[in-house]
Structure 1
Amino acid sequence: MMMSNLPQDLVEEILYENSAIYLQKRSICKNWNALSKDPIFTNNYIRNVAASGEREFLMIKEFSVYLVGVNLHGIQNNNVGLSIKRKGRLISMDNTVRRFCISQVFHCNGLLLCVSGKNMDNNRLAVWNPYCCKPKWIKPTRYTYYGTAERFALGYDKSCGSHKILRLFGDNLNNIEIYDLSSNSWRVPNVTLERDIVYMQQGVSLKEKTYWYARDKESEDKYLFSFDFTRERFGPRLPLPFMYFDDVSLSVVKEEQLAVLVKRWDTCEMEIWVTDKIEPDVSWSRFLKVDIKPRFDFANFAVIDVEKKVALVFDKNEAEKLQSSYSIAYIIGEKGCFKEVDLGESPYTPLSCLACSYVPSYVQLK
């Protein structure tokens, strides 16, 4: 029996259980495409994922975006009952996807901002809801070149109910542009970035703001700061809950809290802290502290379960002569590493393995 001839409730059940296949193949089936635009189906799908005990993440690897599932069933008294699997490559951006080499991905409210690498013929952006619509292609007003600093962020303006792209570029990130998805146009906002920022990590979006980890040029102080997409203003510096460290990475917990992972320079300890509140006065609680012997160089992380104190940490080990790299995922709890999963070898790129939690949404792009 053909898929299109199956009863509606059976088709929905199959698609709930095989989300990666659905995301990749729905363009060849009109019925599947119609389901993606049905808010009832979307809400049922989200509830189904939550009830399954599985968490879904987006992972960028080999310039492509993959859907990764982590199953939390069976965690009792720190015994391991976990599984992590790469569920599928999200390749339905259209026929040009093979020529669009993704180098950065930003997530906000179920939307992805995909950025191509520099010095490519198709230097452009794509805003995409991989669950229910085709990508929206956007060209920057001005190109940047290899070696020139550039940062992007995707955020939400609650005053008009629209998403926006923030672009910072130039030697000191002193050029600022905003793309409004409601008007399909770039403009220069009346806002400036602090001139004493010497380092600025890729940001994460939380509600109407994007947050970055940065370092002061003169004092070497490390801190967080934000951009408010509704007010179109940069926020004040927010202190971190620690002083001495090697590496820092940011993440978001349940679209409600910021999380920061720190690797101490003087020990083999790794800590994860989460915010109790953020602004105007930030406060932190330590979520997890573990020994990471032997040490590894993490790329980024995600908090899987707050109550069970479980996190997913991605590592990228560069092979000899930088000809290839190996991506490894560690599922970590209070007593150390639950499980290590080799995500495979890929040709070396200067990109870190990027992952973020993902919940499908019904946000449509015009």
Structure 2
Amino acid sequence: MSKELPKDVIIDILSRVPVRYILRFKSVSKSWYALFQNPKFITKHFQNQITNSDVTALDASFIFTPNKSTSPAAAAANRNVGLILSDSDKPVKIPIKIDIPFLIISKPLRVCGSCNGLICLSILPIASIILIWNPATRVFKDLPISPIDRPRAGPIKVVLGFGFDDATNDYKVLRIVYFGYPLNQVEMYSLSTNSWKEIKTRVQFLIFESSCSVFLKGKFHWTAIGFEEMHGKKLIVCFDFREEAFHYIMPPEFDFNGCDSEGEDSSMSKVSWTAVALKDSLAVIGSAGNGSGKRFEVWVMKEYGVVSSWTKFRSFDLQTKIGRPLGCGLKGEFLVEKDDNQLVLYDSDSQRVKNLGNHGVAYWSDVFNYVGSLLPIKGGKIAQKTNLSSVVPDAFFVRRMDLNID
């Protein structure tokens, strides 16, 4: 009598196993290899990873560009990303280093977005190369050069957003090219068509260089300064990948003992805040204070897009020299950075503070949530040095100062 488990039970068990182990099981049998390529299994596996209540089984983490050094030589070698496991006592880097032989480009990678296990990477300072990468499967795709006509003036700044359009089942990259207000261009790349298209819209805001960015509810969010009718106010700007349009969201009114949301002078320092995702809701982390500690307020938007639904979720003090909040984990834990580049993970439920050591985040890097997945990348290829040698930068986004003179 056969003692094997039923096939559907085996599939259910495997769908709950972290992706790093699934990849090891690919060589067990041909049937398992085929199963791991099945789109239905891939989707089921990923859904189980993000909904699993067992912390030890959750393959979730923060992903970012690590702060190695400010020297040009070290920056040029900074072609890997950093990973911090939420349930680990020690920070762990992804054991994959993308060492791209750009030949003439000597700038580091920047993490620009994370969605469903896929990562968007760009080359600093103004995204002359853009990649979509699955760190778990090592599959990557370099985006083609955009055919859109450019003005003669070179770009001053480039901002990227990466997300998923569930209406078309398509991954998209938004690129905002600043030439100097009011001249700018907005374009969007579609992975399904492997092409760029221009989006005719006005950009009436300036996105901050280093702030928390978040993809949530089909929209990519940044913190920014609004122009014209926004009168220079700090706000949240989001781009809806389905509507292909920008929207504004005003922040809540913070309650820092007389220090209002505009940062008026008070007994504390000016209020600073940044947008994050708290589980499945848009939220902001506000902070005020100086010296040896800071006070934090976390506000959650109960009804997405409705400013009046901002509700204070939690407030807490950290008696340490905190530089900036970096993000919120999938289970509600907060990642903050000390003034000396030390990272701290704070669990507001247990009020536990975990010191993560000297693994700071580069000042120009955002921090995103990452959950490993088996999701394929259409037109992608395995990240090997021989394959990457054919990656060509977009000449329009290469500045003379970025070239090696050797």
Identify the TM-score tier after normalising by the shorter chain.
Answer: 0.7 to 0.9
Deviations 1:44-99 (A, max 9, x none): 5763672431451132214422443223xxxxxxxxxxx43334415276876998
What TM-score, normalized to structure 2?
0.66
1:133–1:365 CA contact under 8 A, matched in 2 = no
Larger radius of gyration: 2
Structure number having the greater strand percentage: 1
Match for residue 323 of structure 1?
Answer: none
Separation of aligned partners in 2, 1:198 and 1:44 = 35
Paired residue total: 329
Alignment of 1:1-366 (within 5 A): 19-20=19-20, 36-38=36-38, 39-40=40-41, 43-44=44-45, 47=48, 50-54=52-56, 55=58, 56-60=60-64, 61=66, 62=68, 63=78, 64-71=80-87, 83-91=88-96, 101-118=108-125, 123-132=128-137, 134-141=139-146, 148-170=156-178, 171-172=180-181, 174-194=184-204, 197=206, 199=208, 201=211, 203-217=213-227, 219-242=231-254, 243=261, 244=263, 245-254=270-279, 256-265=280-289, 268-281=294-307, 283-305=309-331, 310-315=332-337, 317-318=339-340, 326-333=341-348, 336-344=351-359, 350-352=363-365, 354-358=367-371, 360=373, 362=375, 364-366=377-379
1:193 is paired with a residue whose SS is coil
1:36–1:131 CA contact under 8 A, matched in 2 = no
Match for residue 79 of structure 1?
Answer: none
Separation of aligned partners in 1, 2:238 and 2:317 = 31
Separation of aligned partners in 2, 1:353 and 1:327 = 16
Amino acid at match of 1:37: Q
2:48 is paired with a residue whose SS is helix
Separation of aligned partners in 1, 2:367 and 2:225 = 21
What TM-score, normalized to structure 1?
0.72
Flag structure 1 segments of 5+ consecutive residues without an equivalent: 1-8, 72-82, 319-325
Separation of aligned partners in 2, 1:143 and 1:264 = 42
1:213–1:225 CA contact under 8 A, matched in 2 = yes
Amino acid at match of 1:329: V
Separation of aligned partners in 1, 2:233 and 2:365 = 24
Deviation at 1:186, TM superposition (A): 1.4
Match for residue 321 of structure 1?
Answer: none
Match for residue 384 of structure 2?
Answer: none
Q: CA 1:48 to 1:311, structure 2 compared with 1: closer, same or farther past 3 Å?
A: closer
Deviation at 1:106, TM superposition (A): 0.3
Amino acid at match of 1:211: H
Separation of aligned partners in 1, 2:162 and 2:276 = 15
Deviation at 1:143, TM superposition (A): 12
Separation of aligned partners in 1, 2:25 and 2:125 = 31
Q: CA 1:27 to 1:282, structure 2 compared with 1: closer, same or farther past 3 Å?
A: farther
